Amino acid sequence: MEKLSIIIPVYNELKTLNEILDQVRAVELRLEKEIILVDDFSTDGTRDILKQIEDLGDPLVRVFYHSVNRGKGAALRTGFQNATGDLTIIQDADLEYDPQDYPKLIQPIIENKADVVYGSRFTDGMQKGLRISYIANRFLTFLSNLLTGLWISDMETCYKVIRTSILKEIHLTSDRFGIEPEITAKIAKRKCRLVEIPINYRGRPFDEGKKISWRDGVAAIFHIIRFRFMD
């Protein structure tokens, strides 16, 4: 294996974008890094920052823009379609997830012990910043486990590392937060080897973060059931 594609969906991340890029660049890996930023029609000045990043001409960074706001799932699908690495990892831009976890997340796949690795916020109990969403996340994960036959603790985690060849085979359709249960259901159907690794998590207060709303939670239940029985 030679390259890790890091997909960063971006929407109104003016305050954190440069810092998360610095953190991703600073991670030391055995693999080459490819950083793919997908802007989902930000309106807070984030696009100006992205243009500046492009102007720097860093060969490891590519930027894609949506002409309308389509949702996190759509941004991830754009990133997946353009990934050229052997492995692909999802990285949120809000500083809640620590890129220093990359080495331990990719190791099981490098050692051919897994095809997919999820970074779990819950294997060591409830982490700080998750009080409000903890119960909802655990319920959705339980329902997903019940229907997929998997036994994981954090289906909604951002940190998912997947062999890019598998991502290219999976037909993903979700535009919003339904992308998480869709990915999980479709890798389960393909009998991919999945392991979980504990990760660091710095949850922001609810009013600062882009947490899923109750509507997204209801939609997630629909998606979990839908993708169990439909492709």
All domains of the chain in start order, with CATH: 3-229 (3.90.550.10)
Are 72 and 177 in contact by the 8 Å Cβ rule? The answer is yes
Q: Rounded CA gap, 92 and 10, in Å?
A: 8
Q: What is the pLDDT of residues 33-86, one digit of tens each?
A: 999 999 999 999 999 999 999 999 999 999 999 999 999 999 999 999 999 999
Please give the pLDDT value at position 131.
56
Name the pTM for this structure.
0.93
Q: Rounded CA gap, 6 and 34, in Å?
A: 6
Low pLDDT (below 50) residues in the chain: none
Please give the pLDDT value at position 165.
97
- The residue with tokens 């029985």 is 229
**How would you classify the pairing of strands 32-39 and 61-65?**
parallel
Per-residue 3-state assignment (H helix, E strand, C coil) for the chain: CCEEEEEEEECCCCCCHHHHHHHHHHCCCCCEEEEEEEECCCCCCHHHHHHHHHHCCCCCEEEEECCCCCCHHHHHHHHHHHCCCCEEEECCCCCCECHHHHHHHHHHHHCCCCCEEEEECCCCCCCCCCHHHHHHHHHHHHHHHHHHCCCCCCCCCCCEEEEHHHHHHCCCCCCCCCHHHHHHHHHHHCCCCEEEEECCECCCCCCCCCCCCHHHHHHHHHHHHHHHHCC
Q: What is the pLDDT of residues 1-10, one digit of tens each?
A: 799 999 999 9
Q: Rounded CA gap, 82 and 76, in Å?
A: 10
